[in-house]
Amino acid sequence: MARIWNFSAGPATLPVSALERAQKEMLDWAGTGMSIMETSHRSKEYDQVHNEAADSFRQLLKLDDDFTVLFLQGGASQQFAVLPMNFLPAGGSADYVNTGVWSKKALAEAKVLGNAREAGTAGPDFTSVVRKDGLDLDPNAAYVHFTSNNTIKGTQYYEIPDCGSTPLVCDMSSDFLWQPFDANRFHMIYAGAQKNIGPAGVTVVLLRKSWLEKANQDIPTIFKYGIHAENNSLYNTPPTFAIYIVRNVLDWVKAEGGLEAMERRNREKGDLLYSAIEAHGDFYRCPVEKGSRSFMNVVFRLPTEELEAKFVAEAKAAGLSGLKGHRSVGGCRASIYNAMEKAGVQALVDFMEGFAKTNG
């Protein structure tokens, strides 16, 4: 088996056991004589997988009974629009905390639909998150929106600030389930699966059912959270195969020891990589403030862009792929989501040390 270490920001590396399970079940799934991709989303066999995936989120996050777990399509980007469609009331306003590109995009979509304000910014460089003292919150806002991890700039909230009684909404696309956290503080959490929890094609939305009473009704049916909640995400055909893989990934998370184990793993990997960057401070540089450094996306610079290009190419040849920074910012980025093994980060650190010695 020729698997490389894949540091892509997403779609990203997945646990081998989740893939092997799919491989084993590919042609004859659950004794049906067909693959899950070929199975009706209304069948009892599919229903079991669908509900197992949703139940795993409930278990891992200890969600209270008010939460519904939705499997939607259109990526996290679609949620940027669907959230305000549902919960930005006419004449009301919503607060958005700007920690970079993704939160800006979320804010821009809300502004298309109504009043939305920037309730704090980490700009212009976005090298940290916005802490509580940088927030300018409207106590009457319909909700306040955060992005927990800036995938591009490599910043992360280790904990979302307290915003009083305003409904809290968070885009956790790039660090969902990286550690245990109190999900019950939130009114809504959403995440495109393709980084930490599965393949592209499904977006997980955890939503308080009680909030649905306030949802706008004058929007197309397909965009109503309420319709998807009433129909257990089976109002229309859901992305069945992607949900099946999410189920496999969550079973892996549980088998590894749950979110506590994920956090231990992630902190070990992050500490290893950031320490290597610090240890070679004359060659590698992480532009992110220490208290905001992401445990999911580690960004770093080399002395010149030429050296960065050489680093990415030589790393790839050495079996370490996906290390090029986002096209909007350049530099290097190692995405080390839950499924990345510590051995992969160790291999990267070893490569970095050799590269610094040869080129420094």
Ligand X SMILES: Cc1ncc(COP(=O)(O)O)c(C=O)c1O
Least separation in angstroms between residue 297's CB and ligand X is 8
Residue 341 identity: E
**Would you say 61 or 76 has its CB closer to ligand X?**
76
Residue 14 to residue 27: CA distance in whole angstroms: 21
Size of the site for ligand X (CB under 6 A): 11
3-state secondary structure of 63: coil
**Would you say 100 or 270 has its CB closer to ligand X?**
100
Least separation in angstroms between residue 330's CB and ligand X is 17
- The residue within the footprint of ligand X, chosen from 192, 201, 270, 331 (CB under 6 A), is 192
β-strand partners of 93 = 115
Angle between helices 258-279 and 44-61 (to 10 degrees): 60
Give me the residue whose beta carbon is nearest to ligand X: 75
**Would you say 151 or 248 has its CB closer to ligand X?**
151
Question: Does the annotation count 28 as an active-site position?
Answer: no
Catalytic hit among 95, 175, 178, 195: 195
Q: Which stretch binds ligand X (CB under 6 A): 70-78, 236-244, 287-295, 342-350?
A: 70-78
C-alpha to C-alpha distances, 194 to 98, 198, 246, 277, 287, nearest whole angstrom: 23, 5, 9, 27, 26
Least separation in angstroms between residue 200's CB and ligand X is 7
- The residue within the footprint of ligand X, chosen from 5, 6, 7, 10 (CB under 6 A), is 10
The 8-class DSSP code of residue 333 comes to E
Residues of span 149-178 touching ligand X by CB under 6 A: 151, 171, 173-174
Least separation in angstroms between residue 101's CB and ligand X is 8
**Would you say 75 or 303 has its CB closer to ligand X?**
75
DSSP H or E stretch at residue 77: helix 75-87
**Residue 308 binding ligand X, by CB under 6 A:** no
Provide the CA 143 distance to its chain's centre, in angstroms.
20
| Torsion from C-alpha of 257, 261, 265, 271, nearest 10 degrees | -170
- The residue within the footprint of ligand X, chosen from 75, 226, 319, 330 (CB under 6 A), is 75
E strand residue ranges, 263-352: 297-300, 320-321, 332-335
C-alpha to C-alpha distances, 234 to 7, 113, 205, 240, nearest whole angstrom: 34, 27, 14, 10
**Residue 76 binding ligand X, by CB under 6 A:** yes
Query: Are 154 and 328 spatial neighbours (Cβ–Cβ below 8 Å)?
Result: no
- CA nearest neighbour of 73 among 183, 230, 234: 234
- The residue within the footprint of ligand X, chosen from 8, 77, 179, 346 (CB under 6 A), is 77
**Would you say 176 or 311 has its CB closer to ligand X?**
176
**Would you say 39 or 266 has its CB closer to ligand X?**
266
**Would you say 84 or 276 has its CB closer to ligand X?**
84
- Sign, CA dihedral 355-175-172-162, equals negative
DSSP H or E stretch at residue 70: strand 67-72
Q: Which stretch binds ligand X (CB under 6 A): 46-54, 71-79, 229-237, 312-320?
A: 71-79
Residue 293 to residue 46: CA distance in whole angstroms: 40
- The residue within the footprint of ligand X, chosen from 56, 147, 155, 196 (CB under 6 A), is 147
Residues of span 99-118 touching ligand X by CB under 6 A: 102
Question: Does the annotation count 195 as an active-site position?
Answer: yes
- Sign, CA dihedral 104-106-111-117, equals negative
Catalytic hit among 29, 153, 171, 211: 171
Residues that bind ligand X (CB under 6 A): 10, 75-77, 102, 147, 151, 171, 173-174, 192
Give the catalytic positions in this structure: 102, 171, 195
